């Protein structure tokens, strides 16, 4: 195979990069685009294998992103998706480097944040495009020898041919131009002295670019004071490292700790319901649904999806492609529960076996919909439970348009917001505001201890009069019983 050399770099008049293309990255970012979007990197940012890259003086967050680069082999202008791949001569490895410290100054264009000298190393070898299936490539990145990115092109949001065809509708892709095709989850931050390596190959291991190596060094020349200066905040740190945890930041927003989750799993929904009622929350049950896993119990944070009534012209614009339904399924995270608003409409499906399986693979704890479910038998066989109004064979477009995600919705007569805690079992489904969950579950645990005592006293032949609820005399006996038998 040919090697990337100075002539390769000199031939690249344009370097075009895609913002988000891997489902794993979309899930990490919490946003899944319906269409691809792009930015330009200057050809002066290109560098060869073995190069060094400078983290500019005063900057904290030099981000790296392993990517597959397409090399255009012949000019492409208004080409079709079917013809687009024939205009690609080779694929190689690339590293889309950038400093998050300057994103605030030109966010969107990325001119300064991602355009620095040496910020786009490529190589070392070129894999001929006609020797590979573009949907069967593997991208891997190592940070100081540790594998941090490992993904394939099998389920890209926008396959490579679509990117080439899409870009060619407006501009001519010229021979030698490079397209960086997006990065999977795992991109993070490098520091001076770190070594970054990126490799692209076929999934069967038959062909490989070899490892593209780049060493990070510390810049010593400060930015001039007549331009935007480096500036970072915790949001940029989170974006650069991939998560607040990886960036060493405290968690914010709704968090379901393992301890809280275990406590919620330990108490009955009936107990939770009574404690919610004591706090004036009487409309927090999702009603009228049945589950595929009777006897099971799930606790998780809500993600939401809203359907609106079908209108044919709007279904054409919102119902096809990577619509809100598919985006919701493809961005649900480990332990989350996808709750769907279908207005109680039972005359069509809202989820079927393939999308339910995808949610299970992504680690979803459950799906809850107040509409119908298609492919009931297959959905019922999944380990992940689904709560639904009824089985129905009709396709989505009969009654619904998938409209929006991660917004406040209504499901089964209850309002559900993203981040609410959902507790679901064979007794019912409850929506718990996260702000009161800790206090609520402690009171539930105490209530169930008292009820265990009452149950035992009734079994021994005592009347419920004065015992249920307990009067002062029984309260005193309960305290003695608890002290003698139920130390935590």
The residue ranges of every structural domain in the chain are: 6-241, 283-432, 438-485
- pLDDT at residue 9 above 80? yes
Class of domain 283-432 (CATH, top level): alpha beta
Cα–Cα dist 332/414, whole Å: 21
166 marked as part of a ligand binding site: no
Contact in structure between 188 and 143 (CB atoms under 8 Å): yes
Give me the CATH topology for the region 6-241: Fumarylacetoacetate hydrolase; domain 2 (3.90.850)
- Report the pLDDT averaged over residues 112-139: 96
Lookup result for tokens 């006609």: 130
**pLDDT recorded at residue 488:** 44
Give the model's pLDDT for residue 138: 97
Winning range, highest mean pLDDT, from 68-77, 296-305, 321-330: 68-77
Q: Has residue 51 got a pLDDT over 90?
A: yes
What's the pLDDT score for residue 254?
Answer: 59
Residue position matching structure tokens 């917004």 = 407
Taking the alpha carbons at both ends of the chain, their separation in whole angstroms is 68
* CATH topology match: 6-241 vs 283-432: no
How far apart (Å, rounded) are the C-alpha atoms in residues 1 and 218?
A: 34
pLDDT of amino acid 251? 62
Q: What average pLDDT does range 426-431 have in this prediction? A: 92
For 219-254, the pLDDT digits (tens) are 999 999 999 999 988 888 888 998 878 888 766 555
pLDDT of 146 higher than 80: yes
Is residue 338 annotated as involved in ligand binding? Answer: no
Residue 374 labelled as part of a binding site: yes
Does the annotation place 139 within a ligand binding site? no
pLDDT average, residue stretch 42-55: 97
What residues pair up with 52 in beta bridges, in sequence order? 215
Q: 3-state class of 80 per DSSP? A: coil
Nearest alpha-carbon partner for 329 in 362, 296, 365, 301: 362
368 among the known binding-site residues?
Answer: no
Report helix angle 437-459 to 258-266, nearest 10. 30
Mean pLDDT over 419-431 rounds to 93
Q: Is the pLDDT of residue 361 over 70?
A: yes
pLDDT at residue 487 above 60? no
- pLDDT value at position 215? 97
**pLDDT tier for residue 475 given thresholds of 50, 70 and 90:** confident
SS3 of residue 95 by DSSP: strand
Q: Where are the strands (E) in 42-143, listed by range?
A: 46-47, 51-55, 62-64, 66-72, 88-95, 98-99, 120-128, 137-143
Is 427 flagged in the annotation as binding? no
């Amino acid at each position: 195979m040919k090697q990337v050399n100075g002539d390769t770099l000199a031939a690249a008049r344009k370097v075009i990069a895609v913002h988000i293309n891997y489902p794993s990255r979309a899930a990490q970012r919490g946003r899944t685009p319906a269409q691809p979007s792009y930015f330009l990197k200057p050809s002066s940012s290109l560098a060869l294998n073995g190069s060094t890259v400078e983290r500019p003086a005063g900057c904290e967050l030099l981000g790296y992103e392993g990517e597959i680069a397409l090399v255009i082999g012949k000019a492409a202008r208004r080409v079709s998706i079917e013809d687009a791949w024939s205009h690609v001569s080779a694929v190689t490895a690339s590293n889309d480097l950038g400093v998050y410290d300057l994103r605030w100054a030109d966010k969107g264009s990325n001119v300064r944040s991602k355009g620095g000298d040496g910020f786009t190393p490529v190589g070392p070898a070129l894999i001929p495009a006609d020797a590979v299936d573009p949907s069967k490539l593997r991208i891997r990145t190592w940070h100081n020898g540790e594998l941090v990115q490992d993904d394939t092109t099998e389920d890209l949001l926008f396959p490579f041919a679509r990117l080439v065809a899409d870009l060619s509708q407006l501009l001519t892709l010229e021979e030698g131009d490079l397209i960086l095709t997006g990065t999977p989850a795992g991109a993070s931050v490098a520091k001076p002295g770190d070594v970054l390596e990126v490799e692209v190959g076929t999934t069967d291991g038959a062909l490989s670019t070899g490892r593209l190596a780049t060493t990070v060094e510390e810049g010593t020349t400060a930015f001039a004071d007549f331009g935007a200066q480096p500036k970072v905040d915790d949001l940029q740190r989170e974006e650069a490292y991939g998560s607040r945890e990886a960036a060493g930041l405290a968690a914010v927003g709704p968090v379901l700790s393992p301890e809280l989750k275990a406590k919620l799993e330990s108490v009955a929904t009936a107990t939770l319901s009574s404690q919610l009622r004591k706090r004036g929350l009487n409309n927090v049950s999702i009603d009228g649904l049945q589950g595929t896993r009777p006897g099971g119990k799930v606790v998780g944070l809500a993600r939401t999806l809203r359907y609106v009534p079908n209108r044919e012209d709007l279904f054409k614009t919102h119902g096809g492609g990577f619509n809100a339904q598919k985006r919701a399924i493809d961005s649900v995270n480990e332990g989350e529960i996808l709750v769907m608003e279908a207005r109680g409409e039972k005359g069509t499906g809202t989820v079927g076996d393939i999308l339910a399986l995808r949610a299970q693979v992504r680690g979803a704890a459950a799906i809850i919909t107040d509409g119908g479910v298609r492919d009931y038998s297959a959905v019922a066989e999944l380990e992940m439970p689904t709560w639904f109004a009824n089985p129905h064979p009709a396709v989505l477009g009969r009654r619904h348009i998938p409209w929006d995600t991660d917004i406040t919705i209504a499901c089964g007569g209850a309002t559900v917001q993203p981040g609410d805690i959902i507790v679901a079992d064979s007794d019912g489904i409850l929506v718990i505001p996260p702000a009161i969950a800790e206090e609520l579950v402690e009171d539930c645990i105490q209530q169930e201890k008292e009820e265990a005592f009452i149950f035992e006293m009734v079994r021994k032949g005592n009347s419920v009069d004065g015992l249920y609820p307990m009067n002062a005399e029984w309260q005193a006996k309960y305290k003695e019983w608890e002290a003698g038998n139920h130390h935590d």
